[in-house]
Amino acid sequence: MSTKLQTLSEAISEHVQDGDSVLMGACLEPIIPFAGAYEILRQEKKNLTLLAPISDILLDMMIGAGAVQKVVTAWTGNVSAGLGYNYRRAVEKGIPHKIEIEDHSNFTFGLSLLAGAMGVPFLPTKSLLGTDILKSNPKLQVGKSPIGEETLVYVPALNPNVAILGVQRADETGGAHLWGNIGVSQDAALASKKVILLADEIVSKRTIESDPNRVLAPNFKVTSVVHCPAFCHPSPMQGYYKRHHEFFHDYGKETKDETGFKNWLNKWVYSVGSHEEYVALIQEFEELKIKSEVHAEKVNYAHQ
């Protein structure tokens, strides 16, 4: 099988187009593909629909930069500070412009991706009955079960144009290992039309095949593989990086007003030519690397 390796710039340029629906942050708070978001902004992609259960400041940053037309999500903000100031400015004041919001709970967002992965138009649930999310998201339909008398919420499928997913390691054909909190990454990979993998390490195909239970998705679902160490900074990655708490705190302080956010954006995104340059700006980078090792017990995959 031919290699799917690309640079970050090549992957974003070729596979993310203006107006696309792009899923980022499928692991919720860890392993958020910030490097992909920064490159999207550097390439000035526009009118994007961003999909995520929780992507911390990634969504807020992209909204403030003017790249977003719509968000489909369960939550947008800054976990460390509570509030995403760009998100609030866009919703309340139309700065830099108004955005559409499609509300979900974390559970129904996951259901929508599961439906997309299964190839069905919707999945039913009792969740959200009695909540105001049903008022804010008209796509969530309420009706009687076709078998029985129960009232159900019908959650429509999501099939993003592109999913940008992070993994600890991948091979050049698209096979990949992800461990720790994987969130909805597997369903996102199966539901999306294109998948860009950001990998901290590139390993042999034999390494991936040695542990099939950690494989994210079939490699034929993967469009592009990018070797991008520390792509998830400032979010954590199990076994590799700690969460950079101060970075999130500083973002909250610096983005309270438009001028502060523009200064932050220029420092960390627009004045940075590559991800490698970005990493070089992080003074605490070596301290964020996880030095200890805690291994799982051995397993035997022999079948004969």
- Among 194, 286, 293, 284, smallest CA distance to 245 is for 284
Cα dihedral across residues 94, 16, 56, 182: positive or negative? positive
Contact between residue 104 and residue 135 where contact means Cβ atoms under 8 Å apart:
no
Q: Domains, the chain, ranges and CATH? A: 8-105+159-288 (3.40.1080.10)
* CB count in 10 Å sphere of residue 153: 21
Residue 294 has pLDDT above 80, yes or no: yes
Residues with Cβ < 8 Å from 125, sequence gap 6 or more? 107, 108, 111, 152, 153, 155
Q: How confident is the model at residue 215 (pLDDT cuts 50, 70, 90)?
A: very high
Give the per-residue pLDDT at 117: 98
Tens digits of residue pLDDT in 94-145 = 999 999 999 999 999 999 999 999 999 999 999 999 999 999 999 999 999 9
Please tell me the pTM assigned to this model: 0.96
> Phi and psi (nearest 5°) for 225?
-120, 130
Q: How many residues does the chain have?
A: 304
CA distances 304 to 209, 210, 214, 260, Å, are: 17, 16, 21, 63
Tens digits of residue pLDDT in 132-187 = 999 999 999 999 999 988 999 999 999 999 999 999 999 999 999 999 999 999 99
Q: What's the CA gap between 157 and 109, in Å, rounded? A: 9
CA distances 6 to 202, 225, 276, Å, are: 12, 6, 15
Q: Which amino acid is at 30?
A: P
Q: How confident is the model at residue 1 (pLDDT cuts 50, 70, 90)?
A: low
CA 200 to chain centre: 15
Angle between helices 57-64 and 245-254 (to 10 degrees): 30
Residues with Cβ < 8 Å from 89, sequence gap 6 or more? 64, 95, 258
Tell me the two tokens of residue 36.
């992909």
Tell me the two tokens of residue 86.
């760009």
